Structure formats: C-alpha cells, structure tokens
Amino acid sequence: DIVNMLMQSPIEPLLANRHIVITAGPTREEIDPVRFISNHSSGKMGYALAKAALALGAKVTLVSGPVNLSPPAGIEVIDVVSAEQMHQAVMKVVANCDIFIGCAAVADYKPQQKTQQKIKKSNSELTLTFTKNPDILSDVAHLAQPPFTVGFAAETQDVAHYAQDKLKRKKLDMIAANDVSQAGLGFNSEKNALNVYWNNGEKNLGVADKSQLALTLMTLVAQRHTEKMSSIK
C-alpha cells in the first residue's frame, strides 16, 4: 500500500501549500424511506487519491458519499448521501482550493419526488420519473476563478471519445477515464486502468493497484497544475 511505497522511495512534496478538494464514492438518491437508487462505486479510488495528495504534502478535504471505508488520518472528511448534499458541501469548500478532483460517481438523476411513505407494491408495474441532479464538476469548472479541475469518466463504450468530449464540454483541466466494463477493474475492485487526457495531451497510466495509480495520477496533476500556474503568471 501507499505507506510501503513511501518507505521505499522518498516522495517530493509536489503539493506542499496546496489545498485539494476530492469527492469520492457513490451518491444515494432516495425514492422513499426504504428504497434508493445508487451505483457500484466503492470510493476506493477517491480515498486513494486523498491519501496520495496528503503524501505529496497537500491539505486535503474529502467529500465522501456512503462508503465502507475508514476516514483517512490527517484528512478532513465531509460525509454526504445525495448528489445535492455533495454539491452543497463542495461549493462551500471549493472557493479557496487550488485543485478539485471529482472522483465520486455522482448520480446523474434523482427521483422527481421522494415519497414520505414506503411505496406499496399494489401495482404490477411501477413507473418512476427522474430529473437531473446538479452537475458538480461543471459548476466547479465554471466558477469565476475555478481551481485546477480534474474529472473522471466511467464509461462502458467509446471511452476516449466520451472522455475528451467531457473534458471540453465541462471546461476541465484534466480527465481520467477508466473502462468499467473490463472485469476485475474499476468499481469495487482493488485495481484500475486509467487514461488521462488534457488539452493537447494524454497519458496512459496502465493497469495498477488503486493506491499506486493514485500516486501516479496525483503526481501528474501536480505537474500539470504547476505548468498551468506558471503559464498564467
């Protein structure tokens, strides 16, 4: 794990004096007091990124959906359930941060209305209408003074195409794409495979343990962020 990696090779504090906000895990959208809609995100990648950022010297705030992971020592964790709660929490903390990484698998849709009582199964069919949730990543990237914004794309087809489209459409600085359709990778897995894209650049980080991959990705984020800062000055 990352602690062992740190013991093996000393890490440059590339992110010293940087405040990083990271989202992790799924969100849950309640249908009624009993049922909800969610997704298969375990939060492992986001938590690994938070630990990697800490290891690189950053101050880290982790906004986490419902996961079964222990809050990492030295990291401020804000627990949320729904996409709207995550949106609110992020908007509160993101204003003065340097880097934002949207790693959470935020539910795109929420039920149009939450019923206060459990829906009875009296009908043979049930039709539910869902409306769009706020787009956290896009809202952060469209701030007047946005942080360096990194998104994730979890697609099952045309991964590169969707990732590059999302990068431009949402005005992101960088996007990391993984193919969740590959068995044993991505959601709920210990390993991941990432392709990272930015304006006029890309890098294949290959298949690796999530904590290893997180350190590689955070290092790349730190480099690109520093380049962007020096190009602005």
Of the pair 92, 118, the CB lying nearest a copy of itself is at: 118
Of the pair 71, 187, the CB lying nearest a copy of itself is at: 187
User: Per-residue DSSP letters for 75-91?
Assistant: SEEEE--SHHHHHHHHH
The 10 Å Cβ neighbour count of residue 9 is 7
| Catalytic sites, residue numbers | 39
Of the pair 46, 147, the CB lying nearest a copy of itself is at: 46
Closest contact distance (angstroms) between CB of 11 and a copy of itself is: 32
Binding footprint of a copy of itself on the chain (CB under 8 A): 31, 33-40, 68, 105, 107-109, 112, 116-118, 121, 124-132, 154-157, 180-181, 187
Which amino acid, one-letter code, is at 99?
A: I
Reduced 3-state DSSP string for 136-181: HHHHHHCCCCCCEEEEEEEECCCHHHHHHHHHHHCCCCEEEEEECC
Closest contact distance (angstroms) between CB of 160 and a copy of itself is: 15
Interhelix angle 44-55/210-232, nearest 10 degrees: 60
Closest contact distance (angstroms) between CB of 103 and a copy of itself is: 15
> How would you label 140-178 residue by residue, b for 16+ Cβ within 10 Å and e otherwise?
bbeeeebbbbbbbbbbeeebeebbbebbeebebbbbbbb
Closest contact distance (angstroms) between CB of 108 and a copy of itself is: 4
Of the pair 188, 199, the CB lying nearest a copy of itself is at: 188
